[in-house]
């Protein structure tokens, strides 16, 4: 049955009911063909209550860690479903094997930069130190590829574990260790996507950061390892990374994984999303520093 025009909603009404900015709704329509509003003879968009519910579903799925395209696809597949009241854990098919790819797909301001391993290490220490300096008790995830790489900084993560709700680290460990007050160690295989990645993710009250990278097969002339990296200070990107990491921990057999997946479902974002220029500017500064401070003439 066709909805009477008098019962239809303008885009500003939809924005007010869903919390999604009108500009974002228009962008989704242009990029993904969603939603599909009717038009007045003058070209103004008109929406139904079903459109409102569908947009709310996308918002709820985004909070569960899905990318915009995946959330829209899921909302289309489940018409009339309002997941904003669904507190269940993310479904199994939401699992993403790569933390880097999961975040790079949703944060347009985290432009990839090719960085040296030493630069990534310095940035990681700064991110970790900021959490300690704030005294905030949050969630910390780290991916190290190999156990010997983790061993070099294990003392730092022991300290983080004493002050955090949970700390989970991934490397080629022999088995899971999941002890209270210590980092949870989750084994990964070299053939796993995460086996080629570097990750430091902080999701804490008032502070969110994610530094994610994958190692390139070639090396710099001096033999130093090179990574394609994204740094984001957007709490939405950190939440996406944390959700994926928690799911991978659960898949790896760590009991804490179930708890963290559930915890992240209803957890408020660390902060309000920052200005998009903040992440972009920070990445540009890092690129200059990694290049030895050289500034184009």
CATH fold for the domain made of 5-87: Multidrug-efflux Transporter Regulator; Chain: A; Domain 2 (1.10.1660)
Q: Where in the chain is the domain with CATH 3.30.870?
A: 96-290
Query: Rounded to an integer, what distance in angstroms lies between the CA atom of residue 215 and that of residue 143?
Result: 12
- Please give the angle made by the CA atoms of 91, 81 and 60, to the nearest 5 degrees: 60
Instruction: Write down the pTM of the prediction.
Output: 0.65
Phi-psi region of 59 (alpha: psi -120 to 50; beta: other; left: phi over 0): alpha
Q: Where in the chain is the domain with CATH 1.10.1660.10?
A: 5-87
Which phi and psi (to 5°) does residue 237 adopt? -70, -40
Query: Rounded to an integer, what distance in angstroms lies between the CA atom of residue 211 and that of residue 231?
Result: 5
Note the pLDDT tens digit of each residue in 274-296: 656 666 667 676 766 776 544 33
Query: Rounded to an integer, what distance in angstroms lies between the CA atom of residue 284 and that of residue 286?
Result: 5
Note the pLDDT tens digit of each residue in 140-176: 999 999 999 999 999 999 999 999 999 999 999 999 9
Q: DSSP for 262-291?
A: HHHHSPPPSSPPPPHHHHHHHHHHHHHHHT
CATH fold for the domain made of 96-290: Endonuclease; Chain A (3.30.870)
């Amino acid at each position: 049955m066709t909805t009477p025009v008098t019962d239809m909603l303008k885009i500003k009404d939809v924005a007010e009911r869903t919390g999604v900015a009108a500009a974002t709704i228009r962008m989704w329509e242009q990029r993904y063909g969603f939603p599909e509003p009717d038009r007045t003879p003058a070209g103004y968009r008109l929406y139904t209550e079903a459109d409102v519910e569908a947009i709310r579903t996308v918002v709820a799925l985004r909070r569960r860690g899905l990318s915009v395209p995946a959330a829209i696809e899921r909302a289309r597949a489940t018409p009339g479903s309002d997941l904003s009241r669904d507190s269940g854990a993310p479904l199994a098919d939401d699992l993403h094997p790569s933390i880097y790819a999961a975040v790079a797909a949703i944060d347009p301001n985290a432009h990839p930069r090719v960085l040296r391993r030493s630069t990534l290490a310095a940035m990681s220490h700064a991110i970790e130190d900021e959490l300690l300096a704030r005294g905030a008790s949050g969630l910390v995830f780290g991916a190290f590829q190999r156990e010997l790489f983790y061993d070099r900084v294990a003392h730092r993560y022991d300290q983080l574990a004493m002050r955090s709700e949970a700390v989970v680290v991934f490397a080629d460990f022999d088995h899971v260790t999941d002890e209270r007050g210590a980092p949870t160690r989750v084994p990964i295989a070299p053939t796993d996507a995460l086996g080629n990645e570097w990750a430091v993710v902080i999701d804490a009250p008032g502070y969110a950061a994610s530094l994610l990278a994958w190692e390139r097969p070639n090396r710099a002339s001096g033999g130093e390892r090179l990574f394609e990296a994204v740094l984001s200070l957007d709490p939405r990107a950190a939440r996406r990374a944390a959700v994926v990491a928690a799911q991978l921990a659960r898949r790896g057999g760590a009991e804490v994984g179930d708890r963290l997946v559930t915890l992240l479902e209803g957890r408020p974002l660390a902060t309000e999303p920052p200005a998009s220029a903040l992440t972009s500017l920070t990445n540009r500064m890092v690129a200059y520093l990694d290049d030895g401070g050289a500034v184009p003439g």
